């Protein structure tokens, strides 16, 4: 069954609550104080079913809002989830301040559908009603309620006159209202939290996307508390699941009423990332009293949340009434917001509605290059272009699928489907779980080759640059670096020699006797194990001169074939690895070892044992405790 949320709007005492009651039979003023004072303070809820033109049933959930100017913030908490509005204007009073303010808010929220209802038609004569109708038509011109085909219906909740016509208009509006996306990831902005005898904690809200069923685990944002859904009710009745666009009540396990409050959002756990900075497109109402200045403080309302935000204008010192622009809003606390979410801004003081806009990016990159182009692409709304822009701005690092989900709120299937043509055409590369623009990866390849070229020029005698060192210079993650290096090796542009990376055919060009000497040194140390010869003696037996021999040793130390552990002692890396293995095996029997035991285990003299143990201490294989060592 199609579910549509209908919200009321309009000045106080114009008959909104009476109208909802006349339609549904439900009194939406639920608070004792509301009943006593006869005014709506907080949101009220009601529901009804109507038969559509094709015989299908339509489910209408009503959100009745307060009209009093002091309670606009409550109105804002309810109006975020509505699909169709009933703009209520009393025929005996016509347009009043909150008629204007509420209409401004509805427009800023991007609402598309609604019906204007002239209430209390019984209280005025025909001529007055006609005059008011003309006034209202004039007032609505140029708004979503003023276009051709939009209806203005005169109604009396007292006599019932006009109610049938209104129901017909509602059926039409509900029929054409676009359904909310049940495939999207679920998000339920909480508008009420209470306890119910026998149930425990209950929250309600309008489900803006996705579905929620019993036994699901959810996370409350921004607090991070995990809850489990015990039961679901839709429009006051138990349901198998709540679907996007439905008034939803959840009975929750894992949280008390103190843990949850209006303004929080329930969503699948570990899916989204909260933010304190959002990039937005915003619009200042023509009726705003003054220009909006950079650094201004504002009241910020989105979904059911409200907070104070600081404005940082992009590209401008101020925005004048009637104008729009890109900006960043900085929030005092983290919030869950996603691109496409609408918000309202109210002046800090005195508090009036001055504008609003749409979230474009809830994961802004500080000092990003080409930020405006990025924001324009997001504002453009084409999902494929948006995904490409989100990948491109991460340059060669790319972005993981889960991060794309968190940044867009779109589910995995949608993202993979939208990207699959670009992946197939190799405009986008998939590296592990990341997507990166091919162009950015090609740039990184060139950058890597240029970096190596410079290195070889500066260090003609060195066999290459260490992997990690190169990776850090390129500011690439391990994953991306490995992929790029492997690709270049495949293209025969790169060589890897152990830990070293060099351009193909480059690195040390040794003469024969140098290469021979190098081998002699290496072999001598490899064969010696821990009982290494004196370096002086080995060098003396070589064919090359002392300076060359020294250079060769430097190279062997540099590529970590040989490892120097003290001024006099140099070991082959294989021997030290063997020692580590011995230590690990020894540890299986005893966690402590002293010098005598170490000498016995390795067969080396004290002259070697002490520096070796000190080396192991530095490498955190052992830790000195008194005269002995603890093996870590
Ligand atoms: N004569 C007349 N009075 C109405 C009608 N609708 C509402 N009222 C009265 O107007 C007052 C305000 O109505 P209410 O629904 O609370 O207004 P709200 O503040 O917009 O929700 C109440 O005293 C209602 O009885 C109507 O159609 N005709
Ligand atoms: Mg009311």
How many angstroms separate the CA atoms of 210 and 503, rounded?
A: 52
User: What average pLDDT is seen over the chain?
Assistant: 92
Q: Which ligand is nearest to the CA of 11?
A: 1
Bridge partners, residue 253, by sequence: 228
pLDDT score recorded for residue 86: 97
- Identify the pLDDT of residue 538: 80
Distance CA(377)–CA(372), nearest Å, equals 9
Phi-psi region of 253 (alpha: psi -120 to 50; beta: other; left: phi over 0): beta
Confidence of residue 187 (pLDDT cuts 50, 70, 90): very high
HEC assignment per residue over 244-258: CCCEEEEEEECCCHH
8, 14, 15, 29: which to mutate for ligand 1, most atoms within 8 A of CB?
15
Closest of 396, 371, 304 to residue 73, by C-alpha:
304
DSSP 291: P
Backbone angles phi, psi at 217, to 5 degrees: -95, 140
Ligand 2 center to 11 CA (angstroms)? 9
Strands 2-9 and 57-64, how do they pair?
parallel
Q: What is the residue-wise DSSP string for 537-596?
A: HHHHTSSS-HHHHHHHHHHHHHTTSEEE-SSS-EEEHHHHHHHHHHHHHHHTT-SEE-HH
How many CB atoms within 10 Å of residue 314? 14
Mean pLDDT, range 239-255, rounded to an integer = 94
**Using CA atoms, how far apart are residues 135 and 95, in angstroms rounded to an integer?**
8
Confidence of residue 46 (pLDDT cuts 50, 70, 90): very high
Using a 6 Å cutoff on CB, does residue 158 contact ligand 1?
A: yes
* Ligand 1 close to Cβ of residue 11 (< 6 A): no
| Binding site membership of 15 for ligand 1 (Cβ less than 6 Å) | yes
pLDDT bucket at 486, cuts 50 / 70 / 90:
very high
Atom of ligand 1 nearest to the CA of 11: 20
**How would residue 497 be classed by pLDDT, with cut points 50, 70 and 90?**
confident
Does 120 sit in the ligand 1 pocket, CB within 6 Å? yes
Regarding the beta carbon of 41 and ligand 1, being less than 6 Å apart is answered: no
Full-model pTM: 0.78
Q: Which is it for the CA torsion 457, 462, 467, 470, positive or negative? A: negative
Give the DSSP H/E element, type plus range, for residue 447: helix 438-458
Give the burial class of 536: count Cβ atoms within 10 A of its Cβ; 0-12 exposed, 13-18 middle, 19 or more buried: exposed
Going from the Cα of 583 to the center of ligand 2, the distance in angstroms, rounded, reads 79
How far from the centroid of its chain's Cα atoms is residue 276's Cα?
A: 11
Best mutation site among 8, 10, 11, 13 for ligand 1 pocket (most ligand atoms within 8 Å of CB): 13
261-294 confidence digits (pLDDT tens): 999 999 999 999 999 999 999 999 999 999 999 9
Do 186 and 248 form a contact (C-beta atoms < 8 A)?
no
Structure confidence at residue 627 (pLDDT) = 84
238 — pLDDT class (breaks 50, 70, 90) = very high
pLDDT at 389: 97
The closest residue, in CA terms, to atom 25 on ligand 1 is 18
**Residue percentage of the chain with pLDDT more than 70:** 99
Query: Does 41 score more than 80 pLDDT?
Result: yes
Please, how many CA atoms are within 13 Å of residue 290, restricted to the half-sphere of its CB?
7
Q: H helices then E strands: how many in the chain?
A: 19, 35
Q: Return the ∠ at Cα 105 (arms to 175 and 347), rounded to 5°.
A: 165
158-178 pLDDT, tens per residue? 999 999 999 999 999 998 888
Question: Separation of 45 CA from ligand 2 center, angstroms?
Answer: 11
Distance 1 CA to ligand 2 centre (A): 28
Query: Is beta strand 2-9 parallel, antiparallel or unpaired with respect to 84-90?
Result: parallel
Beta-carbon contacts of 342 under 8 Å, excluding residues fewer than 6 positions away, are: 80, 108, 109, 110, 302, 356, 357, 358, 359
Taking the C-alpha atoms of residue 93 and residue 135, their distance in angstroms, rounded to an integer, is 11
Cα(37) to ligand 2 centroid in Å equals 11
Buried b (16+ CB within 10 A) or exposed e, 268-282: beebbebbebbbbbb
Q: What is the DSSP letter of 262?
A: T
- Is 16 close to ligand 1, i.e. is its CB under 6 Å away? yes
Q: Which residue minimizes the CA distance to atom 6 of ligand 1?
A: 15
Helix, coil or strand: residue 385: helix
The ligand whose atoms approach the alpha carbon of 87 most closely is 1
- Between 606 and 124, where is the model more confident? 124
For position 92, what pLDDT does the model report? 97
pLDDT of residue 511: 64
Angle formed at CA 413 by CA 411 and CA 419, multiple of 5 degrees: 105
Least confident window among 4-8, 385-389, 563-567: 563-567
Confidence of residue 510 (pLDDT cuts 50, 70, 90): low
- Fill in the DSSP letter of residue 124: S
Q: Given a cut of 70, is residue 629 above it in pLDDT?
A: yes
Q: What pLDDT is stored for residue 235 in this prediction?
A: 84
Expressed in angstroms and rounded, the spacing between residue 68 Cα and the centre of ligand 2 is 9
Does position 509 have pLDDT exceeding 70, yes or no? Answer: no
The answer to whether the bond into 350 is cis (omega within 30° of 0) is: yes
Cβ 14 under 6 angstroms from ligand 1: yes
Probe target for ligand 1 pocket from 14, 18, 98, with the most ligand atoms within 8 Å of CB = 18
Output the residue whose Cα is nearest ligand 1's atom 28: 120
Q: What are the contacts of 540-549 at 24+ separation with CB within 8 A?
A: 542/517, 543/513, 543/516, 543/517, 544/513, 544/514, 544/517, 548/514, 548/517, 549/517, 549/521
| Residue 66 alpha carbon to ligand 2 centre in Å | 5
């Amino acid at each position: 069954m199609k579910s549509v949320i209908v919200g009321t709007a309009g000045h106080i005492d114009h008959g909104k609550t009476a109208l909802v009651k006349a339609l549904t039979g439900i009194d939406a003023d639920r608070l004792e104080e509301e009943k006593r004072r006869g005014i709506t303070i907080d949101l009220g809820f009601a529901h009804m079913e109507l038969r559509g033109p094709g015989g299908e049933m339509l489910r209408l959930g009503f959100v009745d809002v307060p009209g009093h100017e002091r309670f606009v913030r409550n109105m804002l908490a309810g109006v975020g989830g509505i699909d169709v509005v009933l703009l209520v204007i009393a025929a005996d009073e016509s347009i009043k301040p909150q008629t204007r303010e509420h209409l401004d808010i509805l427009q800023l929220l991007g609402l598309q559908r609604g019906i204007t209802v002239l209430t209390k038609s019984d209280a005025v004569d025909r001529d007055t009603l006609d005059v008011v109708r003309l006034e209202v038509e004039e007032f609505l011109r140029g708004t979503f309620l003023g276009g051709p085909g939009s209806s203005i219906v005169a109604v009396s909740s007292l006599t019932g006159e006009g109610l049938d016509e209104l129901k017909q208009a509602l059926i039409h509006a509900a029929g054409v209202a676009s359904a909310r996306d049940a495939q999207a990831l679920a998000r339920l902005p909480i508008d009420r939290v209470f306890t119910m005898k026998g149930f425990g904690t209950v929250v309600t809200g309008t489900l803006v996307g996705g579905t929620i069923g019993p036994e699901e685990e959810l996370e409350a944002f921004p607090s991070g508390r995990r809850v489990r859904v015990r039961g679901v009710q839709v429009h006051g009745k138990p349901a198998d699941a709540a679907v996007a666009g439905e008034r939803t009540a959840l009975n929750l396990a894992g949280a008390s009423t103190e843990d949850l409050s209006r303004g929080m959002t329930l969503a699948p756990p570990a899916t989204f990332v909260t933010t304190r900075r959002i990039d937005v497109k915003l619009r200042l109402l023509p009726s705003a009293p003054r220009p909006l200045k950079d650094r201004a403080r504002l009241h910020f309302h989105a979904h059911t949340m409200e907070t104070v935000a600081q404005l940082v204008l992009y590209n401008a010192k101020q925005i004048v009434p009637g104008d729009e622009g890109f900006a960043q809003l900085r929030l005092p606390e983290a919030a869950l917001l996603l691109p496409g979410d609408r918000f309202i801004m109210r002046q800090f003081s005195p508090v009036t509605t001055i504008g609003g806009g749409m979230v474009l990016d809830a994961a802004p990159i500080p000092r990003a290059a080409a930020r405006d182009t990025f924001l324009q692409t997001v504002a453009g709304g084409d999902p494929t272009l948006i995904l490409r822009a989100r990948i491109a701005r991460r340059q060669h690092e790319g972005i993981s699928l889960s991060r794309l989900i968190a940044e867009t709120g779109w589910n995995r299937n949608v993202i993979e489907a939208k990207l699959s043509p670009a992946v197939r055409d190799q405009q986008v590369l998939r590296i592990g779980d990341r997507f990166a623009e091919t162009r950015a990866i090609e740039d990184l390849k060139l950058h890597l080759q240029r970096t190596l070229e410079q290195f070889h020029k500066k260090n003609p005698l060195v066999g290459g640059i260490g992997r990690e060192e190169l990776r850090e210079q390129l500011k690439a993650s391990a994953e991306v670096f490995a992929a790029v290096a492997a690709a270049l090796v495949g293209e025969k542009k790169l060589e890897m020699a152990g830990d070293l990376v060099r351009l193909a055919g480059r690195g040390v060009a040794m003469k024969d006797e140098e290469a021979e000497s190098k081998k002699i040194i290496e072999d001598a140390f490899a064969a010696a194990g821990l009982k290494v010869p004196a370096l002086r003696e080995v060098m003396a037996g070589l064919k090359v001169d002392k300076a060359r021999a020294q250079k060769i040793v430097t190279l062997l130390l540099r590529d970590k074939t040989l490892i120097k552990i003290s001024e006099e002692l140099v070991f082959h890396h294989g021997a030290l690895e063997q020692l580590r293995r011995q230590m690990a095996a020894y540890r299986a029997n005893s966690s402590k070892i002293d010098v005598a035991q170490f000498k016995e285990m390795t067969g080396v003299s004290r002259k070697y044992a002490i520096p070796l143990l000190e080396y192991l201490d530095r490498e955190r294989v052992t830790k000195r405790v008194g005269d002995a060592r603890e093996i870590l």
